[in-house]
Structure 1
Amino acid sequence: MQTFLTLLLIAAMIATLVALVRGIVIFLKTTEADLNGTGPSNSSLKSNKMMQSRIIFQALAIFIAVLIMWLANGG
């Protein structure tokens, strides 16, 4: 059971890192034309979506880590 949870934790950590990097890359590709438009630009919406995904994956990783520690202490 703990091996499975450890693999899930690693997957959640990798997903967090991927979402973070993708969000930063999209943010860095934002042009001045995107910033001068009215309302949110397409790139800022994508960047925001990636950061929201990062938060979800990070919360999942924390939950799995807590679950692993709880089970290691005898549940």
Structure 2
Amino acid sequence: MSTFLIILMVLAMLATVAALVRGIIVFLKTTEADLTGNGPNLSGERQNKMMRMRIAFQALAVILVIFFLLLTRN
């Protein structure tokens, strides 16, 4: 059981890093037209989506670590 949790934790952590890197790449691709245009900013929406994904993956990783620590408390 603990090996399975460790694998899940590593996957959640890798997903967190992947979402962070994708968010940074989207941020770096932001153009001045994205910043000065009228209406919804597509680049900003993508950045927000990546931020929400990163937070969700990070929360999952923390929950898995807590669960792992509770199981191995002996």
TM-score (norm 1): 0.94
Return the alpha-carbon distance in structure 2 between the equivalents of residues 40 and 71 of structure 1: 46
Q: Paired residue for 1:7? A: 7
* Structure 1 unpaired stretches of 5+: none
Structure 2, unaligned runs of 5 or more:
none
In structure 1, the residue matched to 2:52 is 52
4+ residue runs over 3 A deviation: none
Q: Which residue of 2 aligns with 1:64?
A: 64
CA–CA distance in structure 1, aligned partners of residues 40 and 24 of structure 2:
17
What's the offset of the Cα at 1:47? 1.0
1:38 Cα deviation from its structure 2 partner: 1.6
Moved more, 64-73 or 35-44: 35-44
Distance in 2 (CA, whole Å) between partners of 1:21 and 1:38 is 27
1:58 partner letter = Q
